[in-house]
Amino acid sequence: MTSSITPPLKGIRVVELTHTILGPSCGMILADLGAEVIKVEPVDGDRTRKLRGFGAGFFGYFNRNKKSLALDADSPDGRAVLVKLLQSADVMIENFAPGSMAKRGLGPADLEKINPRLVYCSLKGFLPGPYEKRPALDEVVQMMGGLAYMTGPSGRPLRAGTSVVDIVGGMFGAFATVLALKTRDSTGKGGLVESALFESVVFLMGQHLAITAINGAPPPPMPERVSSWAIYEIFATSDGQQVFIGITSDGQWKRFCEFFGQQALAADPKLATNNQRIEARPWLVPKVAEIFKGYTKDELERLCLDADISFAPVAQPQDLFDHPHLLANGSLAPTTLAGGVQTRLPLLPFQMLGWRPPLVSDPPSIGQDNEAVLAGIGYDAAAIASLGKAGVLGPK
């Protein structure tokens, strides 16, 4: 679906002083929504560009639709450039260690004097309180907030398989920033916006806090959970695949029995309701597993679709590159990464009034937009060349 809607943040300038995932994910969301996001990075580039292993995809994914200004912001001339840029900005995003921006004279109070309309988005480990000066990482707060405990089996806490808390923290930072911009429309003033990793993971754990309050006892980790539904499992198929099948209503149970030819199960009064089937799980789940083991993955998918039963093959991340649904609806944007690597990466997962936030530009090279950004805030060609010669600007 396409739409001629104007990107909602068109005309908003964001200066991004960030690294890794928490800050860049916030900036990416704002950029996808149409803001001009200028990523200010060291003259030798954001350190995330050089990560290997699990972090090798961080820069390429979280920095699309942005401009790159490679700047020695700690030098006198570089600081002057940064201040001038911030005077022209609507938003600044930072996710450096607690207190480090204030030490550089770029804290909220400093920037309020430089630009009273600036929305200062600060992304940290903790919101204000006793822990606010502690350093934090995604994995640290997954452990601290109980997410790792709920993910792994007892005695083996396990971080989630993606940087979920960094991304959620960045998302809430972007959400709060948009709200602050809306408030500025009526007050004329910017101000401080804060989002934090620990409070983000606590928000994600809210359902477990609620069930603890209701049941009077904490829930067990997910591998040992007592399911709310009788059939809600991973099953093996005849061709050596794994599928997840969830039968979550009495209607689905009846359709399962009908489409899979299980008249005896359908007629059993001890299986009439979901709660009765939960009581029968010790023998019912092995029975259903035996039934499913008689089908291939493709056969199971066809039957589950016909019966309107929730079904999913157990996929790996690389399977998404060729997923027919994603390819058909344009959810994966063709993207060129560093070194000319061609791939397809996910867009934001929503549509608004028929508009899907698009890929406008690939992740930038180091200093790709130096001249354009500086010219836009009043530097002429000679001044830009002088800054480059002095090493204040990084290479294009």
Q: Supply the pTM of this predicted model.
A: 0.95
Full pLDDT tens readout for the chain, 396 residues: 456 789 999 999 999 999 999 999 999 999 999 999 999 999 999 999 999 999 999 999 999 999 999 999 999 999 999 999 999 999 999 999 999 999 999 999 999 999 999 999 999 999 999 999 999 999 999 999 999 999 999 999 999 999 999 999 999 999 999 999 999 999 999 999 999 999 999 999 999 999 999 999 999 999 998 788 999 999 999 999 999 999 999 999 999 999 999 999 999 999 999 999 999 999 999 999 999 999 999 999 999 999 999 999 999 999 999 999 999 999 999 999 999 999 999 999 999 999 999 999 999 999 999 999 999 999 999 999 999 999 999 986
Distance CA 308, CA 324 (A): 19
For 242-296, where are the alpha helices, taking DSSP H only?
250-259, 263-267, 274-279, 281-292
User: 249: alpha, beta or left, given left = phi > 0 and alpha = psi -120 to 50?
Assistant: beta
Residue 89 gets which letter from DSSP?
A: -
Contact 190, 115 (CB under 8 A): yes
Give the span between the Cα atoms of 230 and 242, in whole angstroms.
Answer: 18
Find the Cα–Cα–Cα–Cα dihedral 150, 155, 160, 164, rounded to 10°: 60
Question: How far is residue 46's CA from residue 138's CA, in Å, rounded to a whole number?
Answer: 19
DSSP state of 369: T
**Hey, which residues does 37 pair with through a beta bridge?**
14, 66
List, in order of start, the domains of the chain with CATH numbers.
13-205+330-389 (3.40.50.10540), 227-318 (3.30.1540.10)
The residues annotated with a catalytic role in the active site are: 166
